Chains A and B, each alone.
Chain A
Amino acid sequence: MLFLTHADYDAIRLSLKVALAATVLSLPIGFVFAYVMTFFKFRGKVLLEVFINLPLTLPPVVIGYLLLIALGKNGWFAPVLEALNLRLIFTWKAAVLASAVVGFPLLVRSIRIGMEGIDYQLIQASRTLGAGGIDTLFTIILPLSLRGIFAGSSLMLARSLGEFGATIIAAGNIPGVTQTIPLAIYDYASSPSSEAAALSLCLVAVAISVVVLLFHELLSSKLARRD
């Protein structure tokens, strides 16, 4: 039996919203980075690689703190955000940003693996058949990278659903505003009488993760059959 309050439902809704927004926003940028890293040689490529993968090795709290000092009231980007009349810190948008930054390397890595698996002669064939670079990107590289794109998106979605450290620093833990499932569980776990509520949310988190992973597996096997 699940014991879910209105605040819990809000946390579930917010978690899904944040994870989906982070994945959707990161996808085109991740695709471009993966494309550049797979098919281009340029000076500083190693540095870019390190930069992309940095969130994998940094503690999420550090990422959250960096977002805080970059996007906060007196942060590095404060004048830009002020000019755009945009407030990010301690809003659900900061939670999206935090999830996007933390999950980005996983997304890029998966898309890159997909792109690296494409036989380069297919790209050459496309070019000699009259397709330009952009045409080849959309008609050959993109469809043949779909497995990597879906794998990366699923990983990113799952990672975003579980994001805690960066979110709590950059977005705070405000019920109904920035409180996602992990933050709500953290709140319940801090109070001794809320074990059942914490467990209920844990079950919801497990269920969502299972659905995401099942969806990923189904899509992967469907695409594998096609290839």
Chain B
Amino acid sequence: MALRKSFGPFNLETDFTVTGDKIGIFGQSGSGKSTLVGLLAGLTRPEAGEITLDGECLFSSSRGINLPPQRRRVAIVFQQSCLFPHLSVEKNLLYGYRRTAPEYRTVDFGQLVSVLKLDGLLQRGVNNLSGGEKQRVALGRAILANPRLLLMDEPLSALDDSLKYQIIEFLMSASEQFKIPYLFISHSILEIRLMTEQVLAVSGGRIVGQSTPEELARQRMGQSQVGYINLIKADLLRKIGELKVYRWGTAELYISAGSDSPSATFELSSRDIILFKKHPEAISARNLLKCTVLDTFPSGNKVGVELQCGTERLVAEVVVQAADDLAIQAQTEIYAVVKASSFRRLG
């Protein structure tokens, strides 16, 4: 994709090639992410350049090619679900399917309905659905169009946090089942980490970097208001009063935000981890983990510290002075202290 597009003072100029099935585009509002989506889908015409998908030229200003959106087989899941309000859930789902040439119809309607748990909704109108249901229908509708590329343009930003992670699970299981390559656009590093395998960073209408989501998260740790988010998948062991005890690798974690489900994923900010060079005594925090420093890396005016805690890894964050005072370096032993209330359950 190499193209140019201007909107008043805003200029988008990109030149990149990307291969893979789970690609992220990360950037802040106004960086040009959604413009890229429009250009790829054929909804916006570039001033000049070339777009090639799977070896087929979708647009070429020099060769005078500009495939219309309906012939590109590039479907979009929008931020607002954009369901057709005059059609039932079933008719929304089948809108693209019925317009797909029979040779491309590989996704089975019944299977999709079951994966996205839409069975009970098919005959309902779309106006009374909840936000999460709407987004599941929008995802199903796009998948049933059997696109060769699915563009997800901030599909989670209109949802509240608890719904977000339920939808992420649906997105992941649908992508697993139907094997449709996608481009996931978001301004949330966490969503990008959960959904993609490589990511392009966009800023000011230009691609400013291409990396793995993990690398991007570490690069941006110092600038982010929440630091680096550690994702902790743990299994419930027992309850002690208000606290729940989870098994995380070989360690046990005391968490106050748990649920009764046997396993759960928690967010833990790198800023909520306090490092001690020596074993601390008589502390109120419920979690004390003996770790080994694997690596340190600069991130803005902070230092990221990658820790091996038993079989699992954590990233903590300290200011430069603290890193110097504690002489934190690879292979040194360190104690990580985390309050039980610092964990936030996903979903």
Contacts and interface: CB of A to CB of B under 8 A. Distances in A.
A121 B86 contact: no
Interface residues of A, number: 19
Contacts of A129: 70, 75, 95-96, 99, 141-142, 145
Contacts of A125: 76, 78, 82, 84
A127 B70 contact: yes
A139 B73 CA distance: 19
A126 B95 contact: yes
Interface of B: 38, 41-43, 68-70, 72-76, 78, 80, 82, 84-86, 95-96, 99-100, 125, 127, 141-142, 145
B84 A121 contact: no
Nearest 4 pairs of A and B residues by beta carbon: A130-B99, A129-B96, A127-B69, A125-B82
A122 B76 CA distance: 11
Contact of A132 (B68, B86, B96, B100): B68
A144 B85 contact: yes
A6 interface: no
A95 B76 CA distance: 50
Nearest to A223: B86
A197 B141 CA distance: 62
B85 A135 contact: no
Contacts of B78: 121, 124-125
A199 interface: no
Contacts of A128: 41-43, 69-70, 72, 74-76, 145
Contact of B43 (A119, A124, A131, A135): A124
A135 B99 CA distance: 10
* Most B CB within 10 A of own CB, among A119, A122, A125, A227: A125
Contacts of A140: 84
A121 B76 CA distance: 10
A59 interface: no
Contacts of A226: 85-86, 125
A147 to B, nearest CB: 11
Contacts, number: 70
7 contacts: A124-B78, A128-B43, A128-B75, A129-B99, A129-B141, A140-B84, A144-B85
Contacts of A121: 78, 80, 82
Interface string A202-227: 00000000000000000000000011
Contacts of A124: 38, 41, 43, 69, 76, 78, 82
Interface of A: 119, 121-122, 124-132, 135, 139-140, 143-144, 226-227
Given A129-B145, A130-B96, A140-B84, A227 B68 contact: no
Given A125-B84, A129-B141, 16 more contacts: A122-B82, A124-B41, A127-B68, A128-B43, A128-B74, A128-B145, A129-B96, A130-B70, A130-B73, A130-B96, A131-B95, A132-B70, A144-B84, A227-B85, A227-B86, A227-B127
Contacts of B76: 124-125, 128
Contact of B84 (A126, A127, A135): A126
Nearest to A127: B69
A132 B96 CA distance: 11
Nearest to B141: A129
B214 to A, nearest CB: 31
Nearest to B95: A129
A116 to B, nearest CB: 16
A126 B85 CA distance: 12
B10 to A, nearest CB: 19
A66 to B, nearest CB: 40
Contacts of B75: 128-129
A202 B99 CA distance: 54
A120 to B, nearest CB: 10
Nearest to A142: B86
B68 to A, nearest CB: 7
Contacts of B96: 129-130
A157 to B, nearest CB: 24
Nearest to A122: B82
A23 B96 CA distance: 35
